[in-house]
Every structure is written in structure tokens, then in C-alpha cells.
Amino acid sequence: MKKYIFIFMMISYGISDVPNDLFLQGNQLMLKEKYVDAVQSYESIIALGYENADIYYNLGNAYYRMHHIGQAIWAYQNALYLNPRNKDSIHNLSLANARRVDRIELPPPARILKIYRTIKSYLTLSEWFLFGSIILFTQAFWLLCMQFAVLRGRLVAMTLNVLIVLTLITHIIALDKYLQEKRTNTAVIIGNGVDAYSGPFYGNKTILFRINEGSIADVSNTQKDWTEIILIDGKKGWVPNESIRILR
């Protein structure tokens, strides 16, 4: 399990005294196994508009120990959005997912698609754009050196071709990730045994299906206190807003 970060790391994230105190307070409460109070501390930081992967990670741990699997999955997912390479968050998310009831198991994707998704998820969107900019700058510098005959030879020309291909691939991945995040509004079911209705209110509307805690769904529509969701297997229905939490 990941150790809690130190004060100087919190300062590096630009967090002021109040959130920093709440974070330290939450850590102390976790050590005392007062998980409900720890959740309140971490949630207060997020409510103030401050966030980083470590806050979400610790919040996920607190929810997990309270057996609130849906909330834990929501927190771990947010932690991985901010830091997709964190092995502890990946591990704990897999543990939380393993405790979900009636998980929807889809056929494994093609190997090349799995590799592509792994590569795309390895960096955040801003990191992909930064990496692409560095490659593009390197390519421009390399081409400039070739123009002024600073660099010559077949190997130099081959390197330029590699840089061009790498630039193209990097920007395609960055664009794909950007479009995915822009068009996808995803939520986690945090209630257990949530009924999905055919319309946005109780009463005579039909209960279409029941969703278990921790399920992931795309948000397609909202109306007052209700949200229309689409599950990974294509099922669509309306659920109360308090039964879900939107991922960042």
C-alpha cells in the first residue's frame, strides 16, 4: 500500500494551509482506523476545489475499508486519471472491482487493440500533448541541422523518417484521447441495488433492471434529480442522481 505523501509534496501541488491540514488530519484518522472521519476530511478537500492523485487514492482506501465499493472505485478511477501509472491505485482498483457483484464480463479485445489502449492510458492527455510537442520540436531541429549540412548520411535521413512517424503516431493518440474524454461523461454507481427506470421519475414508470454498486456507466442525459445512463452491455435507464458519482 502506498505511503501517505509528505507536506512538501502537498505544497508542490499548490495546496494551501487549510486543505493541507485536512489532508494530514485525514491521514491521522486513517492510522486510527476512523475511516468515516477520514472520508469527511478528504471529501472536504475536494469540495474546496483541490485535488491530486494522492487525495483520491487515500479517499479510495478509506471507502474500501468502509466496504463502500462504489465510492472506492470512483476515487481510484479519479486517482488513475490524474496519475495513470500509479501501481498502487491500479492494484487497489482491481481489488475493488473484484468485490463487485454480477460484474459484466466482456470478451477480451484483440491483442493489438489491447496494446494500443495500454499505450494510450499510460500518459495523461496533457502528457501526451507535451510528449508530442517535444517530438515535433526534435523533428524540426533535426530537419534544420540537415538543411545546413550539420548532420548528413543515410542514418540521419532514416532517423528523420522515424521522427516523422513517431510525431504522427503521438498526435493521433493524443487526439484520440482528447476526443474520448470530450465525448464521454462517465459515472460510477455508488448505491447498492439501484433500480433503473424507463423515465425520469418514480410512479408508474417501469423498472427496467437493477444495477449493483461499482458498475461503470456512460451518462447520456440529465433531468432535474435524474440521470439517464448506458451500461457497458448497452442497457439504458434512468437512475436518481444520488445513486451515482460522475468521474472527473
Shared-domain flag, residues 85 and 13? yes
User: 34 lies in which domain range?
Assistant: 7-98
In a domain, 105, yes or no: no
The pLDDT score that the predictor gives to residue 77 is 96
In a domain, 84, yes or no: yes
Measured distance CA(45)–CA(19) in Å, rounded: 5
Bridge-partner residues for 226, per DSSP? 223, 240
Shared-domain flag, residues 13 and 82? yes
Per-residue confidence in pLDDT tens, the chain, 248 aa = 444 443 444 444 444 578 889 999 999 999 999 999 999 999 999 999 998 999 999 999 999 999 999 999 999 999 999 999 999 999 999 999 998 876 655 567 688 988 998 999 999 999 999 999 999 999 999 888 888 878 788 888 899 899 999 999 999 999 999 888 877 789 999 998 899 998 887 766 688 999 999 999 999 999 989 999 999 888 999 999 999 999 97
Measured distance CA(57)–CA(88) in Å, rounded: 8
- CATH number reported for the structural domain that contains residue 69 in this entry: 1.25.40.10
Angstrom distances, CA of residue 180 to CA of 125, 175, 230, 234, 242: 10, 8, 16, 18, 25
In a domain, 141, yes or no: yes
Structurally, the chain folds into a number of domains equal to: 3
The pLDDT score that the predictor gives to residue 102 is 65
Closest CA to 229 of 203, 193, 197: 197
- CATH number reported for the structural domain that contains residue 241 in this entry: 2.30.30.40
In a domain, 59, yes or no: yes
pTM: 0.82
Shared-domain flag, residues 151 and 193? no
Shared-domain flag, residues 224 and 241? yes
Question: Which of 128, 156, 183 is the last residue before a domain boundary?
Answer: 183
Closest CA to 118 of 103, 133, 108: 108
Measured distance CA(226)–CA(236) in Å, rounded: 13
Shared-domain flag, residues 19 and 81? yes
Name the strands in the sheet holding 207-211, side by side, starting at the edge strand that comes first in the sequence.
207-211, 194-197, 236-240, 226-231, 216-223, 186-189, 244-246
Shared-domain flag, residues 168 and 215? no
In a domain, 1, yes or no: no
In a domain, 123, yes or no: yes
Shared-domain flag, residues 139 and 81? no
End-to-end CA distance of the chain, in Å?
A: 24
Closest CA to 132 of 67, 177, 98: 177
Residue 35's identity, in one-letter code, is Y
In a domain, 106, yes or no: no
Contact 218, 159 (CB under 8 A): no
Shared-domain flag, residues 16 and 94? yes
Question: Which of 183, 202, 235 is the last residue before a domain boundary?
Answer: 183
